[in-house]
Amino acid sequence: MDDVSKLSAKFETDIKSVRTYKEAEALAMTYLGRNGHINSLLKTMKDLPTEKRKALGSSVNEIKKSIVEHIEKKRKELMKKMEEETDIDVTLPGKAYPAGSLHMVTLAIEEISRIFEKLGFVRMSYPEVEWEYYSFEALNMPKNHPARDDFESFFIDTPSHDDFGKMVLSPHTSSGQVREMLRVGAPPIRMINIAKCYRPNWDVTHTPMFHQFEGLCVDKGITIANLKGTIDYFVKEFFGRQRSIRLRPFHFQFTEPSFEIDVSCGICLGKGTIRNEKCKVCKSGWLELAGAGMVHPNVLKAGGIDPDEFSGWAFGFGIERPMMMKEGLKLNDMRIMYSGDIRFLEQF
Ligand code: DAH
């Protein structure tokens, strides 16, 4: 038997033992691949006399054609079998995986940033792990001052720094005020500092981690009128055109004069009553919103700014509470916001 007939006989047995598509692929490589049997046969041709070479050439081509056809046929058979066995309907729609969404606080932060950006405020964030100095002393609250009790804090267990004191988890965003003055160097300053704050409280209206945003504006001739106008603009953008604000005298160590800011209730629209009954949401027509005031001269000095030349205002808002007011949400336990409960979170 010549080499071509031997190869042909071998192929006939080989193809009979092919059971899977993968095996058919492997067989194709063994016979038709670059180093396959067909090419090895063709390589022997060059040493043959012309007549024999021609004859071998044409018989190798014939068997090659037949091998290609047989393997192609086998492949088709096996492909069909595979489809029948797996029973896949390729026209069915795919699986829809649940899509995530941004946390409600993240959405509120984005909206607040956008509103203040329009007024030319620069968005900043300052350290969450902060020196006692920036959290208190720089804000006109010297060591042992009773006002510090209002800002109960988590202290970090590290050695105390000679100038900056201990490290704390920042209890309010006001700690960014003097840092911003020092960063900018000289007025004008228009900053919005949005950050996480920490205080050791854990009940239905408090979580130990919460968010605040702090506004700071320092320049020549800045007055309470600017403060009121800015907050009024924010409230109308964030809560709606029909809402208004009022300032109530208050006391903060870092501002003089100081105020608390109330926003008119979205339910009774500031009247305090609905159809001659007390409004159940606000009871008085107003909801407490934020603290604010004219920056105390000592705070300006701590930031290297001359209080005789410049003046400024500052305010500090929580984020979780105003956000609930905006959504008309009455949560009976605020901690659910940070519980990771998808059933609650996916509603926003
Ligand atoms: N830091 C205060 C707090 O956490 C809020 C505050 C009050 C911020 C008055 C201010 C301000 O900037 O002027 O309760």
- CATH number of domain containing 138: 3.30.930.10
State yes or no: 256 annotated in a binding site: yes
Taking the mean position of all CA atoms in its chain, how far away is CA 115?
19
Lowest model confidence (mean pLDDT) among 29-33, 112-116, 307-311, 329-333 = 329-333
Q: State how far the alpha carbon of 7 is from the alpha carbons of 14, 52, 59, 71, in Å.
A: 10, 18, 11, 15
More confident site: 46 or 128: 128
| Cβ burial, residue 173 (10 Å; 0-12/13-18/19+) | buried
The Å distance, Cα 127 to ligand 1 centre, comes to 17
Which pLDDT band, with edges at 50, 70 and 90, does 154 fall under? very high
Give the pLDDT confidence score for residue 281 in this predicted structure: 78
Q: Does residue 98 fall inside a structural domain?
A: no
Q: Is 214 in the pocket of ligand 1 (CB under 6 A)?
A: yes
Provide the residue range defining the domain that includes 291: 104-345
CA angle 286, 290, 293 (to 5 degrees): 115
Residue 211 near residue 333, CB atoms below 8 Å: no
What whole-number distance in Å separates Cα of residue 264 and Cα of residue 327? 15
Using DSSP bridges, classify how beta strands 165-169 and 129-131 pair: parallel, antiparallel or unpaired. antiparallel
Q: Is 315 in the pocket of ligand 1 (CB under 6 A)?
A: yes
Q: State how far the alpha carbon of 145 is from the alpha carbons of 142, 148, 230, 257, 306, in Å.
A: 6, 6, 31, 19, 24
Taking the mean position of all CA atoms in its chain, how far away is CA 307?
39
* Whether 148 and 16 share a structural domain: no
Q: Is 153 in the pocket of ligand 1 (CB under 6 A)?
A: no
Give the pLDDT confidence score for residue 29 in this predicted structure: 94
Q: Is the pTM of this model over 0.75?
A: no
What whole-number distance in Å separates Cα of residue 92 and Cα of residue 78? 23
Retrieve residue 181's tokens: 């003055």
Give the pLDDT confidence score for residue 237 in this predicted structure: 95
Which pLDDT band, with edges at 50, 70 and 90, does 348 fall under? confident
pLDDT averaged over the chain?
Answer: 92
- Give residues with Cβ within 8 angstroms of 226, minimum separation 6: 217, 313
Nearest CA to ligand 1 atom 4: 172
* Whether 308 and 215 share a structural domain: yes
* Whether 151 and 60 share a structural domain: no
The Å distance, Cα 293 to ligand 1 centre, comes to 8
Q: State how far the alpha carbon of 64 is from the alpha carbons of 8, 42, 44, 52, 281, in Å.
A: 9, 11, 16, 18, 88
Give the pLDDT confidence score for residue 224 in this predicted structure: 97
Range among 29-33, 44-48, 200-204, 303-307 with highest mean pLDDT value: 303-307
Taking 80 as the threshold, does the pLDDT of residue 150 lie above it?
yes
Asked whether the bond before 208 is cis by omega within 30 degrees of 0, the reply is no
Taking 80 as the threshold, does the pLDDT of residue 139 lie above it?
yes
What whole-number distance in Å separates Cα of residue 192 and Cα of residue 302? 19
Lowest model confidence (mean pLDDT) among 92-101, 131-140, 150-159, 187-196 = 92-101
Q: Does residue 279 fall inside a structural domain?
A: yes
Taking 90 as the threshold, does the pLDDT of residue 274 lie above it?
no
What's 284's DSSP letter?
A: S
Nearest CA to ligand 1 atom 5: 316
Q: Does residue 95 fall inside a structural domain?
A: no
* Whether 160 and 222 share a structural domain: yes
Taking 80 as the threshold, does the pLDDT of residue 330 lie above it?
no
Q: Which of ligand 1's atoms lies nearest the C-alpha of 214?
A: 12
The residue count for the chain:
348
Helix, strand counts (H, E) of the chain? 11, 12
* Whether 209 and 300 share a structural domain: yes
Give the pLDDT confidence score for residue 156 in this predicted structure: 95
Which pLDDT band, with edges at 50, 70 and 90, does 146 fall under? confident
Using DSSP bridges, classify how beta strands 155-161 and 165-169 pair: parallel, antiparallel or unpaired. antiparallel
Total domains, the chain: 2
Give the pLDDT confidence score for residue 37 in this predicted structure: 93
Q: Is 293 in the pocket of ligand 1 (CB under 6 A)?
A: yes
Give the pLDDT confidence score for residue 87 in this predicted structure: 75
Q: What percent of the chain has pLDDT over 90?
A: 68
Range among 1-10, 38-47, 247-256 with highest mean pLDDT value: 247-256
Q: Is 316 in the pocket of ligand 1 (CB under 6 A)?
A: yes
Q: What is the mean pLDDT of residues 302-316?
A: 98
Count of CB atoms within 10 A of residue 23's CB? 15
Q: What are phi and psi of 52, to 5 degrees?
A: -65, -35
Q: Does residue 237 fall inside a structural domain?
A: yes
Nearest CA to ligand 1 atom 12: 315
Q: Is 292 in the pocket of ligand 1 (CB under 6 A)?
A: yes
Taking 90 as the threshold, does the pLDDT of residue 294 lie above it?
yes
Taking 90 as the threshold, does the pLDDT of residue 321 lie above it?
no
Q: Does residue 16 fall inside a structural domain?
A: yes
Q: Is 262 in the pocket of ligand 1 (CB under 6 A)?
A: no
Q: What is the mean pLDDT of residues 260-286?
A: 88
Residue 113 near residue 194, CB atoms below 8 Å: yes
Nearest CA to ligand 1 atom 13: 292
The Å distance, Cα 216 to ligand 1 centre, comes to 11
Q: What percent of the chain has pLDDT over 70?
A: 100
* Whether 7 and 70 share a structural domain: yes
More confident site: 44 or 195: 195
| Boundary (domain end) residue, out of 86, 112, 135 | 86
The Å distance, Cα 209 to ligand 1 centre, comes to 16
Residue 238 near residue 317, CB atoms below 8 Å: no
Q: Is 174 in the pocket of ligand 1 (CB under 6 A)?
A: yes
Retrieve residue 122's tokens: 């620069």
Which pLDDT band, with edges at 50, 70 and 90, does 268 fall under? confident
Give the pLDDT confidence score for residue 92 in this predicted structure: 85
Taking 90 as the threshold, does the pLDDT of residue 323 lie above it?
no
Q: Which of ligand 1's atoms lies nearest the C-alpha of 317?
A: 5
Q: Is 310 in the pocket of ligand 1 (CB under 6 A)?
A: no
Q: Which of ligand 1's atoms lies nearest the C-alpha of 259?
A: 9
Give the pLDDT confidence score for residue 204 in this predicted structure: 86
Q: Which of ligand 1's atoms lies nearest the C-alpha of 313?
A: 13
